[in-house]
Amino acid sequence: MNPSWVTGLLLAATAANGIAAGATLDQAIKQLPARRRIGAPAYLDYVRAADMGNGLIWYPIMGVGTAALTLTAVVVGLLTHPTTVLAIALVAAGAGTVAGGVTTARAAPTLLPLRHGEHTAEAVEAVLNRFATINALRAAAIVLTLAAAIWALAETTS
């Protein structure tokens, strides 16, 4: 496989992970803390309108697409007999992608029970707190994946 393919795949994976990291950090740093100011019931209205609206299309496309692109870059990169440093960066990107997938698989269904019906403020807050914790772990995994992808990209262009 031509090394330029690896560079191209890593460039695309880096861009996709940058978008995913930005979206996840926005949720972790700005959106979720806002629930403390506006209250859980008001935040639930927002989640239903956003995350359980267009988010049901956007998040899976972004998540699955980014993971597939990153894992493709990792596999193709490892098949090109990379340097040791590049191999470590690729494995780190792959591990981060798997960690991001595992945490997403835990985070996504956490909010779904709130999609319909009436819930007490306490019940909503408990679910949102659980989601915020899982989302923080997911954000860390995605940011680490982004860092590893940047590292791998830098190794292919140096």
Residue 4 has pLDDT above 90, yes or no: no
30 Cα distance to chain centroid: 16
Per-residue pLDDT, 2: 57
For the stretch 60-117, pLDDT in tens is 999 999 999 999 999 999 999 999 999 999 999 999 999 999 999 999 899 999 999 9
Which is higher by pLDDT, 129 or 158?
Answer: 129
Side-chain-side CA neighbours of residue 5 (13 Å): 12
Write out the DSSP string of 19-41.
Answer: HHHHHHHHIIIIIHHHHHHH-HH
Per-residue pLDDT, 108: 85
